[in-house]
């Protein structure tokens, strides 16, 4: 909230995980890590390892208005977000995606290209891809 304070008249804090569809996701701790989580779909008849939280799709978050820039650093969910329910992508002018294993930079470039963006590896960050839409 403090980071967004200067733009409070045009920003809104949303308490939810980003996921390909609306619903709920579970937070799981990275194996062997002392901090840091990733999200996953709830599994039938399994107990959550961490908090269960609301999830919103980028289709729901973006809505129908054009978006100038998206910074996507979602600790492993980027492959799902760039391949499932991607109607939101046509409204994005520029996107920077931080890529996490097992997803690769090459796959991310291919996915952004399929979504209609000119994509290339970020020269400043070896695990990131930038996609730009010709306007």
Sign of the CA dihedral running 107, 119, 30, 80: negative
Asked if residues 42 and 69 have their Cβ atoms less than 8 Å apart, the reply is no
pLDDT of 133 reads 93
pLDDT of 135 reads 65
Mean pLDDT of the chain: 89
The two counts, helices (H) then strands (E), for the chain are 3, 8
Q: Which two tokens stand for residue 90?
A: 């046509």
Could you write out the DSSP letters of every residue in 31-85? TT-SS-EEEEPPPTT---SS-EEEEE-HHHHHTTS-EEEEEE--TT-HHHHHHSS
Prior bond to 40 cis, omega within 30?
no
Q: What is the largest CA-CA distance in the chain?
A: 48
Is the pLDDT reported for residue 34 higher than 70?
Answer: no
Sorting pLDDT into bands at 50, 70 and 90, what band is 50? confident
Sorting pLDDT into bands at 50, 70 and 90, what band is 41? confident
Residues in the chain: 135
Mean pLDDT of 68-76: 91
pTM, 2 dp: 0.84
Sorting pLDDT into bands at 50, 70 and 90, what band is 63? confident
């Amino acid at each position: 909230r403090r980071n967004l304070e200067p733009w409070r008249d045009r920003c809104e804090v949303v308490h939810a995980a980003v996921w390909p569809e609306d619903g709920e996701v579970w937070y799981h701790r990275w194996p062997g890590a002392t901090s840091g989580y990733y999200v996953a779909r709830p599994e039938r008849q399994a107990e959550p390892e961490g908090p269960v939280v609301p999830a919103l799709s980028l289709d729901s978050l973006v809505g129908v208005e054009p978006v100038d820039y998206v910074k996507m650093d979602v600790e492993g969910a980027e492959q799902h977000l760039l391949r499932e329910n991607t109607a939101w992508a046509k409204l994005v002018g520029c996107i920077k995606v931080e890529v996490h294993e097992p997803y690769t930079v090459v796959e991310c470039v291919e996915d952004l290209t399929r979504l209609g963006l000119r994509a290339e590896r970020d020269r400043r960050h070896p695990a990131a891809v930038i996609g730009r839409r010709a306007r």
